[in-house]
Amino acid sequence: MAPAQEHIQIVRLTLRLLRLEAEALLRAANTNQALTEARGHVLGRNSTLRHIRQSIPALPADHCPAIGRLCNEAHQALETLIADRRAELSASHAHPAAPGSPEKQHHPQDWHSRAPLPENYRKTVYPHTNYLPPD
């Protein structure tokens, strides 16, 4: 095997291992935050794929197109895996407004949508004291 072909084969095997590692990380991610961390590990600044891409300009000119193509294919495949896993995670969590799901918890930002408090609210909450809470 020619040295050029050996180098391309090594990169191809490295990217295949990267994909297997990414699949394992993505399967282990059970939350969106864990999925984001896994994405950073697989495609982030210190990822193997980024290091291979950064080394392309230092390679002989006849290696660059093939290795660049392999890196692009690997990147697209990893992005697809991440998007699929994100869809699985969002499908597994019931939407709060879905029928049969537990009643939605009120958030302070939802207070404006609640019915107004009665005018005698302060007196009914603190009837035994002279204390009135601030507005």
Assigned domain for 22 exists: yes
Phi-psi bin for 100: left (phi > 0), alpha (psi -120 to 50), beta? left
Q: How many domains does the chain have?
A: 1
User: Which residue range is the domain that position 53 belongs to?
Assistant: 3-92
Q: In the structure encoding, which two tokens stand for residue 57, read together?
A: 């300009």
Q: What are phi and psi of 39, to 5 degrees?
A: -65, -40
Assigned domain for 42 exists: yes
Q: How far is residue 5 from each of residues 1, 10, 13, 47, 63, measured CA to CA in Å?
A: 6, 9, 12, 24, 8
pLDDT of residue 71: 92
Assigned domain for 76 exists: yes
pLDDT of residue 80: 93
Assigned domain for 8 exists: yes
pLDDT of residue 72: 93
The pTM of the full predicted model, rounded to 2 decimals, is 0.63
pLDDT in 10s for each residue of the chain, 135 residues: 567 778 888 888 998 999 899 889 988 988 889 999 999 999 989 888 899 899 888 888 888 898 899 999 999 999 999 999 999 888 876 555 555 545 555 555 555 556 666 666 555 555 555 555 555
Assigned domain for 123 exists: no
In this structure, which amino acid lies at residue 2? A
Assigned domain for 65 exists: yes
Assigned domain for 101 exists: no
pLDDT of residue 108: 55
